[in-house]
Amino acid sequence: MTPDIFRILPEVVLTLVGVLVMLTDASMSPKSSRRLLGWVAALGVLAALAASLWQGTLPAGTAFYGTVQTDAFSTFFHVLICGIVLVAILLSIDTLPPDRSPEQHHVGEYFALMVFGAVGMCLLTSAVELLVVFIALEISSISTYVLAGYRKQTGKGPEAAMKYFLLGSFATAFLLYGIAMVFGATGTTEVREIATLLPAARSHLFVLLAFGLMMVGVLFKVSAAPFHVWTPDVYEGAPTPVVALMSTAPKVAAFALLIRLLYGVFPLLHPLWMPLMWVVAAVSMTVGNLAALRQQNVKRMLAYSSIAHAGYLLTAFTGSGTEPIAAVGFYTAAYAAMNVGIFALLSVVGGYDERRSSVTDYRGVLYSSPLSGGLMLLFLISLIGIPFTGGFFAKFYSFTTAMQGGAGWLVLIGLLNSGIAAAYYLRLALSMALPSAASAKAQGLSSVGAGVVLAVGIAALATLALGILPGHVLDAAHAAAQSFAAIRGF
């Protein structure tokens, strides 16, 4: 018998660390450097990561009266999310504006929000009760809304936060309405009970409406078309280290929630949601890639690219059995590694104040800082999906899964889209390789410290490891999928 507290141990650790960061911030003298807070937060998240790994050794089971469930699935996503947050915090230690500069403010709150946000994201992957799902989603969302608006002195920061907050709350309201309707149809909010009671629900239309509403909420969070409009504006306005976090961790959690909803709550509607995922996947990657082609701003371009990647991810859902869960799990890991990596380098090369923002600003980067430029190329190659990188293997796996499910046309659309995508990634790569314009100011890098080196190193190693030796992660993803296999119909 495992004590209940062990089932939420990573979340408990993260909450305590968040409080510790706040208290340390308050007890430090106003003049002293705040970098220490970043290291406290990073160590805390590392401890949470260890706790998540340890949770994997526990037998699967539920706790707190059936509201959370830890198994291979939750462990996989817990480790992934803790890893992303850890890298994002390490990155922020060095790339936030230096101490006592005018832009420097509320560093304590910054790190605390990142850690508290991780509580919500982690819990989202282990929650099996829709009330917990809702509160966890709110925790993760509200912390990202605030972090998105952290550059208050720029016009774009508050604009990003405001847009994200209004649209995000609207989407969450849809999800909540859906949850209320599911409760109306079945009289419970527990995932397992809903799945057993749904076939007996007397109004099929009611269930369909509930499903539709919940899908609107979740597809917004993963920024799939047609609910993607917020993405470019928010990514452009938010500080780059924050984008590294918010383009990956909340999305990973949202995909875990999507899996939970599709395979845990609505396996009954499988014939219905498979075509739906087909359409959303096709629209997302096409819209994302075509729009990315026309972008001059690098962050906006990568924002559209992340919409396209959401499309590739959703492609996997057209597969049969529980295979899609493993494919999605692996893809989220590879996507997180390369996306965190590229945004980490953007914050080093482009700077917190965005000295470089458009594609042409990156001219000559490969010569002025070969190491950063070379690593950026690595992440771009992975984003394109060239072999021996995580991006290639993830895409390959996702498309193979879709093929097995009989979605040949979708895979064709996906392959065509990958071709289009190569064009704009290569445009950035080419710009980096061109000699810098004579008029360009001498632009140095942000101060590079141990934090950045660790962050970029972890991301680069993960990207390569997932491409060359994907075995371990793949096994973990399969184990995660297995924990869903017990559900009827699969």
Q: Which of 28, 131, 229, 479 binds other proteins (CB under 8 A)?
A: 131
DSSP state of 98: P
Q: Which of 17, 88, 118, 132 binds other proteins (CB under 8 A)?
A: 132
* Nearer Cβ to other proteins (202/488): 202
Beta carbons of 210 and 149 less than 8 angstroms apart: no
DSSP state of 201: -
Q: Which of 54, 64, 367, 388 binds other proteins (CB under 8 A)?
A: 64
The reply on whether position 233 binds other proteins by CB under 8 A is no
The reply on whether position 116 binds other proteins by CB under 8 A is yes
The reply on whether position 203 binds other proteins by CB under 8 A is yes
The reply on whether position 110 binds other proteins by CB under 8 A is yes
The reply on whether position 33 binds other proteins by CB under 8 A is no
Query: Of 473, 159, 480, which Cα lies nearest the Cα of 330?
Result: 473
Three-class HEC string of 136-168: HHHHHHHHHHHHHCCCCCCCHHHHHHHHHHHHH
Ordered alpha helix ranges (H), 187-297: 191-197, 204-221, 230-237, 240-246, 249-259, 270-293
The reply on whether position 149 binds other proteins by CB under 8 A is yes
The reply on whether position 326 binds other proteins by CB under 8 A is no
- Count the site residues for other proteins by CB under 8 A: 45
* Nearer Cβ to other proteins (212/321): 212
Sign of CA dihedral 112, 114, 117, 123: negative
Give strand pairing partners of 63.
Answer: 68
* Nearer Cβ to other proteins (1/205): 205
The reply on whether position 44 binds other proteins by CB under 8 A is no
Give strand pairing partners of 68.
Answer: 63, 127
The reply on whether position 15 binds other proteins by CB under 8 A is yes
Beta carbons of 362 and 432 less than 8 angstroms apart: yes
The reply on whether position 353 binds other proteins by CB under 8 A is no
The reply on whether position 67 binds other proteins by CB under 8 A is yes
Query: Of 408, 421, 410, 416, which Cα lies nearest the Cα of 380?
Result: 421
Provide the angle, in degrees to the nearest 10, between the axes of the packed helices 323-349 and 249-259.
170
Residues that bind other proteins (CB under 8 A): 8, 15, 18, 22, 30, 64-65, 67-68, 102, 105-106, 109-110, 112-113, 116-117, 119-120, 123, 129, 131-132, 135-136, 138-139, 142-143, 145-146, 149-150, 152-153, 161, 184-185, 187, 202-203, 205-206, 209
